[in-house]
C-alpha cells in the first residue's frame, strides 16, 4: 500500500480524507506491530 498523506483520500474508498477516516486505526495497528517487535522473550 503506498504511503498516504493525511489530506489524501482514504484508501477504503469512502471519499473522506485519510485523517478523518482510517488514520487513527492504522496508527494503532502500526503501534501494536512495533511494540511486539520491541518486546523480548526469554
Tens digit of pLDDT for each residue in 1-39? 568 899 999 999 999 999 999 999 998 988 888 778 776
Residue-level pLDDT at 9: 95
Residue-level pLDDT at 12: 94
Domain count, the chain: 1
Quick check: is 10 in a domain? yes
Alpha-carbon span 8 to 14, nearest angstrom: 12
- pTM given for the model: 0.61
Residue-level pLDDT at 20: 95
- Backbone φ and ψ of 7, nearest 5°: -100, 5
Quick check: is 8 in a domain? yes
Burial of 10 (0-12, 13-18, 19+ CB in 10 A): middle
Domain that holds residue 11: 1-28
Residue-level pLDDT at 2: 67
**Pair 18, 7: CB distance under 8 Å:** yes
Quick check: is 37 in a domain? no
Amino acid at each position: 500500500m503506498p504511503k498516504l498523506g493525511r489530506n489524501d483520500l482514504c484508501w477504503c474508498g469512502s471519499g473522506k480524507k485519510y485523517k478523518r477516516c482510517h488514520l487513527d486505526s492504522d496508527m494503532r495497528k502500526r503501534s501494536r506491530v512495533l511494540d511486539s517487535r520491541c518486546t523480548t522473550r526469554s
